[in-house]
């Protein structure tokens, strides 16, 4: 019998995917990555992890990688993540996130892979009627990014019923932080996540931060988000993967802390950690930004036995700052 114990990690393997790859590798799992690395991030990985540069929509390539590396499960991070960009260019998002994922699912099915861990998002909920948000909340995305992720969840459920695919869709709220040793950090290009933007502005590495919208129905008028540390996310991935590899289908699972922080609160936390002010300016709302997204993560606790350990706001900001300072030092050394 063929040993199919490798994990194929695919599509937009950036911040969370790189951390998951490292954690799985350190746990003794065999890992192979297939990505085009259009958003960067490959340099953060161990040289012991094989990387295949290619398109997840290349069915022949996916089949070959699955065969050569004895793949038994796929962890898919479906690539494009910028809300504003998805509103401006929905064709790009439906192509990269949905169309190519359908090709990936066809290829891994052909290769005899029956376990899929999917990186989904709280954006599938749109503007929720209940906060904290349970998995049973209505799903009405308000932007194409969320719509593509929800469409993939529908596809996974259909693959489950028709072909026996076991799956979990881990609905992230806001991934943040960095590895405690300063590596595996956020390095999107361009950077769009709030905490690294706040820290870079505070360190005078970029222009002052723009707060997009100060008239939301929240206590201080700015958007509220549930920030979950990347190490806690990676741990949840390993726990979920073990269950689906052992025959369970989990469906959608929220990953968050159950507590939200506003943009102004994140700026205040960064000011404390940096010991200096964070220059910022006010701007208009961005299309497709819900005012409040906070997780009800009770299902993750029940199913996975998972509790966030590093996701306090100050610790998350401290880890992110350490990683950005280390990254700046490395850049200066290379220069």
Catalytic residues: 145
Structure tokens belonging to residue 327: 């990254």
Is-contact 19 86, C-beta < 8 A? no
| β pairing state of 261-262 and 224-225 | antiparallel
Residue 119: enclosing H or E segment and its boundaries? strand 115-121
d(CA 32, CA 47): 11
C-alpha closest to that of 310 among 299, 298, 300, 318? 318
Q: Which 3 state secondary structure label does DSSP give 124?
A: helix
Structure tokens belonging to residue 280: 């910022």
| Crossing angle (nearest 10°) for helices 194-202 and 263-274 | 40
């Amino acid at each position: 019998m063929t040993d199919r114990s490798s994990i194929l990690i695919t599509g937009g393997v950036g911040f969370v995917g790189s951390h998951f790859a490292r954690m799985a590798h350190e746990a003794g799992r065999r890992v192979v990555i297939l990505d085009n690395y259009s958003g960067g991030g490959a340099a953060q990985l161990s040289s012991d992890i094989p990387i295949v540069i290619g398109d997840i929509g290349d069915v022949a390539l996916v089949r070959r990688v699955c065969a050569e590396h004895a793949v038994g499960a796929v962890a898919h991070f479906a690539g494009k993540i910028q809300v504003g960009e998805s509103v401006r260019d929905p064709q790009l998002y439906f192509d990269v996130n949905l169309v190519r994922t359908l090709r990936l699912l066809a290829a891994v099915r052909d290769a005899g892979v029956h376990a899929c861990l999917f990186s989904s998002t709280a954006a599938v909920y749109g503007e929720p009627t209940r906060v904290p948000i349970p998995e049973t909340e209505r799903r009405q995305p308000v932007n194409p990014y969320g719509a593509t992720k929800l469409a993939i969840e529908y596809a996974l459920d259909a693959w489950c019923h028709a072909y026996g695919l076991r799956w979990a869709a881990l609905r992230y709220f806001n991934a943040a932080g960095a590895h405690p040793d300063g590596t595996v950090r956020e390095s999107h290009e361009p950077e769009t996540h709030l905490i690294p933007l706040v820290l870079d502005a505070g360190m005078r590495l970029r222009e002052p931060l723009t707060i997009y919208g100060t008239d939301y129905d929240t206590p201080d008028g700015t958007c509220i988000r549930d920030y979950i540390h990347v190490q806690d996310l990676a741990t949840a991935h390993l726990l979920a993967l073990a269950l689906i590899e052992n025959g369970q289908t989990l469906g959608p699972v929220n990953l968050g802390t159950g507590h939200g922080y506003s943009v102004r609160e994140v700026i205040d936390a960064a000011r404390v950690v940096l010991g200096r002010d964070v220059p910022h300016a006010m701007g208009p709302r961005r299309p497709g930004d819900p005012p409040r997204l906070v997780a009800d993560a009770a299902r993750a606790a029940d199913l996975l036995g998972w509790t966030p350990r590093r996701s306090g706001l100050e610790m998350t900001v401290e880890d992110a700052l350490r990683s950005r300072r280390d990254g700046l030092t490395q850049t200066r050394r290379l220069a």
